[in-house]
Amino acid sequence: MINFLQLRNDMIDNQLISRGIFDELVIRAFRDVPREEFVSLDLRNIAYSDCPLPLDKGQTISQPYMVALMTQLLSLKKTDNVLEVGTGSGYQAAILSKIVQKVYSIERFAELVAQAKSNLKKLQINNIELICGDGSCGWEDKAPFDAILVTAAAPDVPEELINQLADGGRLVIPVGEMHMQRILRIKKKGKGIVENYYDSCVFVPLVGKRGW
Ligand code: SAM
């Protein structure tokens, strides 16, 4: 019998806190979300490994540290409305849902949307709205967002996403080449933006009108 709770706590200590994840809201969310529920049965025993894992449709659930870093960079508050582009398994959306009021998430593969919905329903997470579609231009009807998180690699920053940020809003997105990117955080301040780059990373591509 695998002790998933022990594995989860070890992952938080050894992969997250030891690498500089300090936001208590983020750490608490990681304690609350069972990652093993978001991977296929044959991968449950390695659900807490320090790496991305395969999903259907050639996609991946991201490395736990990347999920934590990107979430921390969003500087989330309880009252925030957040958009995620790239639902995949629903794990990142579940982490966000434990911190903020409302999460909107878009995924381009209907099969993954169905799987994510089922994963989230099992855990009785009810503050996430999921749709199938191209999220590279955001979700205009639900804007403005306090935070937007893109979990697929973009060639550059879609202007639509910046336009859909509230004043003071934060966008976190992997940007760069197809096979190597860096995490970029943009903060919107009035009509201006402030950009900061963080870790190198390799995400699956953002495919769509404003992606690859
Ligand atoms: N956040 C996910 C999780 O927690 O499992 C992992 C995301 S995976 C690294 C990237 C996801 O982005 C894939 O599921 C992919 O199908 C999706 N994607 C790529 N381009 C997209 C687009 N234009 N709109 C919506 N989803 C997209």
Q: On the CB side of 30, how many CA atoms lie within 13 Å of its CA?
A: 30
Residue 93 Cα to chain centre, angstroms: 6
- Per the domain annotation, does 85 fall within a domain? yes
The reply to whether 178 falls in a domain is yes
Total H helices, total E strands in the chain = 6, 9
Within a domain: 169? yes
With H, G, I as helix, E, B as strand and everything else as coil, classify residue 15: helix
Q: Of 18, 40, 49, 62, which one is the catalytic site residue?
A: 62
- Does a structural domain hold residue 122? yes
Cα of 158 to ligand 1 centre, how many Å? 15
161 and 170 Cβ atoms separated by less than 8 Å: no
What's the confidence (pLDDT) of residue 194? 98
pTM of structure? 0.98
| Residue 204 DSSP code | P
Task: Give pLDDT < 50 ranges for the chain.
Answer: none
Between the CA of residue 104 and those of 84, 147, 148, what are the distances in Å?
6, 11, 9
Active site annotation includes 105: no
**How many Å apart are CA 75 and CA 92, to the nearest integer?**
15
Ligand 1 atom with least separation from CA of 116 = 5
In this structure, is residue 210 part of a structural domain?
Answer: no
Q: Is residue 207 part of a domain?
A: no
| CA 85 to ligand 1 centroid distance, Å | 6
Ligand 1 atom nearest the C-alpha of 211 is 23
Closest CA to 108 of 161, 46, 158, 150: 150
**How many structural domains is the chain composed of?**
1
Q: Write the residue with the smallest CA distance to atom 9 of ligand 1.
A: 60
Task: Please report whether residue 151 resides in a domain.
Answer: yes
Atom of ligand 1 nearest to the CA of 95: 4
Q: Is 83 helix (H, G, I), strand (E, B) or coil?
A: strand
CATH of the domain at 166: 3.40.50.150
Q: Which atom of ligand 1 is nearest to the CA of 52?
A: 9
Instruction: For residue 115, give its domain range.
Output: 4-201
Residue nearest to atom 15 of ligand 1 (CA): 86
**Ligand 1, residues at Cβ distance < 6 Å:** 59-62, 85-86, 88-89, 91-92, 106-109, 112, 134-136, 151-152, 203-204, 206-208, 211
pLDDT for position 157: 98
In a domain, 206, yes or no: no
Task: Provide the pLDDT for residue 77.
Answer: 98
What was the pLDDT predicted at 193? Answer: 97
- DSSP result, 24-68: HHHHHHHHHS-GGGGS-GGGGGGTTSSS-EE-GGG-EEPPHHHHH
For residue 154, the cross-strand partners are 175
Beta bridge partners of 195: 186
